[in-house]
Amino acid sequence: MILPILIHPDPRLKKLCDPVGQITDDLRRLADDMLQTMYEAPGIGLAAPQVGVTKRLIVMDCVKAADAAPRPMVLFNPEITWSSEDTSTYEEGCLSIPDQYADVQRPASVTVRWLDREGQAQEETFTDLWATCVQHEIDHLNGKLFIDYLGPMKRSMITRKMEKLKRERARGH
Ligand code: K1U
Ligand code: ZN
């Protein structure tokens, strides 16, 4: 099922999300719906608060090449356990802030621990776009958006554009 994606500004995008306990069939179904929603958008990641669920769950697939096998990932309770000193800058976008992009500097590599869809603990070191994406998605779980890394002028300009977009969408444009 395709889920509606919340658009900034929305108080649900600013909340600290709750850890999940037991990985239930309902949570696995939510993860599957989030993956379907992410691929359809299209995007390379999606966090549960973006679909109005304040739980610590993210999905992502940063495989770029069209002829490569997809790698859909489901991460419950993801935690960064190590960040590299060296950084990389990527022009980020966000499905909750459509058509707005800005350079964000983050650690170039991160090690993340999480529970997979079977409730098994996993740990992996991510680099390149995967590292950028997993940090962007974990930020969502802490109520943080990529525009929070920008200066106040740029951030408020984007917020005003999104308020206008939401007014237009509400009028059916
Ligand atoms: O969390 C989100 O809003 C999804 C976001 C993830 C992200 C993008 C760029 C850097 C870090 C994190 C997106 O997927 S925006 C759309 C996007 O980047 C994309 C869309 C189609 C093809 C390739 C990329
Ligand atoms: Zn986002």
Domain edges within the chain: 11-170
Q: Is the minimum distance from the CB of 92 to ligand 1 under 6 angstroms?
A: yes
Question: Is the beta carbon of 139 within 6 A of some atom in ligand 1?
Answer: no
- CA 173 to CA 155: how far, in whole Å? 24
Ligand that lies nearest to the alpha carbon of residue 91, given by its number in the listed order: 1
Sign of CA dihedral 78, 1, 6, 19: negative
Ligand nearest to the CA of 146: 2
Query: Which residues, 6 or more positions from 162, have their beta carbon under 8 angstroms from its beta carbon?
Result: 7, 8, 9, 97, 100
Q: Phi and psi for 23 in degrees, rounded to 5?
A: -85, 105
Residue of the nearest CA to atom 5 in ligand 1? 94
46 neighbors 95 (Cβ within 8 angstroms): yes
pTM for this one? 0.98
- What are the pLDDT digits (tens) for 12-69? 999 999 999 999 999 999 999 999 999 999 999 999 999 999 999 999 999 989 899 9
Q: Tens digit of pLDDT for each residue in 96-136?
A: 999 999 999 999 999 999 999 999 999 999 999 999 999 99
Does domain 11-170 correspond to CATH entry 3.90.45.10? yes
- Given this model, what pLDDT does residue 64 score? 86
Query: Which pLDDT value is given to residue 173?
Result: 79
Give 44 Cα–ligand 2 centroid separation in angstroms: 10
